[in-house]
Structure 1
Amino acid sequence: MKTISSVVEHYIKKKPFLQTALAQGIINLTSLSRQVRPEIEAQLGKEVRNGAIVMALKRLSDDLEFRATHRIVKVLKNIGEITVRSSLTDFTFLISDTILRNQGRLLEVVNKNKDVFYTSSRGVNELNIVVSNSLDDVVEDVFSAERQTQKAENLSSITVKLPAENVSVPGIYYFIFQRLAWEGIVLYEVISTTNEFTILVDEDQVDNAFTVIKDLKSL
């Protein structure tokens, strides 16, 4: 049997931004109840008083399991080194039978140039390679026989070292990416390992993105 509380909770949890704002206590519950009332009534098939919806919203905002938990904040306070690199280019190639061989050729060049930036990620159909723009010509030459689908220049990367417990706490990446989205920062690429992730953004957004991530340590 559907109840007002269960329907309200289901509605809010479908809207992550609204869920977080409610948990942080920055929403007027009475105004929100008026806004969601028509959908709640449609779900229940009957009229519902605003006061009943307000009470359901209040219970949700007080629920520690519903809030951004202290475990997430604890992990973010222990964020380690934050490294910024600029003047990067992101290449995208379709996967082929020769792509790994050519990637090996590129790595030979990278290993001889310790100061350059290099990272890559492979999906089912595509391979992404991100390098310092000083290697653009090398990449174009080594992968000349491959099918390049995209090339983005003038990018910057921010690499963040996370504490080891990040793998056991749900919501870490959501929490970080949500705040970047709130600031209107477009993530061109996200590359991660177990305890580290790198985001690529346009160079004109890197300062703002760095500030957002750095401020997570002071939550």
Structure 2
Amino acid sequence: MAGISKTVTQLIQQSPFLEEALADKLINVSALARHLHKDVCMKLGKDINEGAIVMAINRMEPGYYHKINFGIKKFFNKLGDFTVKSGINDYTFKNSETLFLTQANFFQKVSSETSSFISFSNGIKESTIIASNNLHAPLVQFFQGEQLLGHKKNLATVTINLPKENSEISGVYYYLLKKLAWLGINVVEVISTTNEVTFLVTDTDIDKTFSALMDLKR
């Protein structure tokens, strides 16, 4: 039986989503045993009764996901303030020798707009600027010499202040994004600093996004 238990555990742990669904009791154990039967027999080199596999699944000790789940729930109870901003644009430019200087000049120009939202994200080949609608005109003027790869409008942001221990806990971003994905919310961009995370979504999804994330705190 020890060999069966070890083999079943190894097979299940190869799929984090499977382990998660088991921990949340979302999977029919008998159906899972039938699914694993062929692989278990192959690894052990002999025919195994499906009932033994069912028993091995039911006897599995709480895994890594269960431990993360317990810590995450305590963590989410300590989430800080939520801030919502609407009327947001997303611009993506191709990186160039002049782009970073243009960004610096633009930021200096609009730094007094403290009520506006603005974020820069520099990648290897492209860079993204996320900014409030009122900054559209000056942004277009400053970046007219740069190659615009994409522009999305009618967006909104939800920013969450995270507890300081967020960088020490596994799965924080996974749980946040999973909650939104299950509700069919398309996350356009994710912006993070040490103790803040911002989700950029469409205006039509902002209420649903805010409610979903607030539910994690309750």
Structure 2 length-normalised TM = 0.89
Aligned: 1:32 with 2:24: no
User: Residue by residue, what CA displacement relative to the aligned partner does 1:158-205 show, whole Å, maximum 9, x if unpaired?
Assistant: 111110111111111112211211111111101111111111111111
Look up the match of 2:95: 95
* CA distance 1:113–1:30, change in 2 (3 Å): same
Conserved 8 A contact 2:119-2:129: yes
Look up the match of 1:63: 62
User: Residue by residue, what CA displacement relative to the aligned partner does 1:34-64 show, whole Å, maximum 9, x if unpaired?
Assistant: 233334444444433222222332234x415
Unaligned runs of 5+ in 2: none
Instruction: Please tell me the residue identity of whatever aligns with 2:85.
Output: R
Alignment of 1:1-219 (within 5 A): 3-60=3-60, 62-67=61-66, 68-218=68-218
Structure 2: how far apart are the matches of 1:142 and 1:10? 56
Structure 2: how far apart are the matches of 1:87 and 1:33? 51
Query: Which shows bigger deviation, 103-112 or 36-45?
Result: 36-45
CA RMSD after TM alignment: 2.0
Instruction: Please tell me the residue identity of whatever aligns with 1:212.
Output: A
Aligned length: 216
Instruction: Please tell me the residue identity of whatever aligns with 2:62.
Output: D
Q: CA deviation at 1:211?
A: 1.3
Structure 2: how far apart are the matches of 1:110 and 1:5? 62
Structure 2: how far apart are the matches of 1:126 and 1:43? 47
Conserved 8 A contact 1:110-1:118: no
Q: Percent identity?
A: 36
Structure 2: how far apart are the matches of 1:76 and 1:49? 42
Task: Give secondary structure in 1 for the equivalent of 2:177.
Answer: helix
